[in-house]
Amino acid sequence: MDELNPPSKIDLRYAEEKIVFVICDCSLHKPYSFYGLSREGAIKLITRLKYIEKHTWKQFANLDRTNGLTSEKPNTDGFKLIHEQNSSIGKVVEQYYFHFRVEKSDLFRVFGYQRNHYFCITHIDPNGKIQHS
């Protein structure tokens, strides 16, 4: 696989589009899926997703790292996990892989990729077990 670094953090064609979350590529492996969340964790996650969906991709990408997106670099654990779950046809050419924190001071993170205006969630890491990029 030829891993290309995208020219920007997000796909700029959708910069002014509102973010929409989808879970069709979300892992079913319990530690990294909705199955592994407590009720409290699920409430925190849904609250954060609702907040983020009020933003455009550009707005979200421009937030500082503690509130916004962190790009996943090729050959990191996060990148590999996302890539394995990515069902997108264009995944070899365009790889907009990232994670964001559910809470600023916590290791609870959501991993995924951008496909058009969608944020495709691939992994939910409530305990910070996936290595940082």
Domain ranges of the chain: 19-125
Residue 13: alpha-carbon gap to chain centroid: 18
Query: Closest Cα to residue 20, out of 119, 132, 121?
Result: 119
Question: Going edge to edge, which strands form the sheet with 69-71?
Answer: 20-22, 118-125, 109-115, 97-101, 69-71
- pTM here? 0.89
Is 50 exceeded by the pLDDT of residue 3?
no
Amino acid at 133: S
Mean pLDDT of 59-80: 90
pLDDT of residue 7: 52
Grade residue 96 by pLDDT with cuts at 50, 70 and 90: very high
Grade residue 92 by pLDDT with cuts at 50, 70 and 90: low
Mean pLDDT of 101-110: 89
Higher pLDDT, 62 or 5: 62
Is 70 exceeded by the pLDDT of residue 110?
yes
d(CA 119, CA 45): 14
Distances (CA, A) of 96 to 45, 83, 86, 123: 21, 10, 11, 15
Is 90 exceeded by the pLDDT of residue 37?
yes
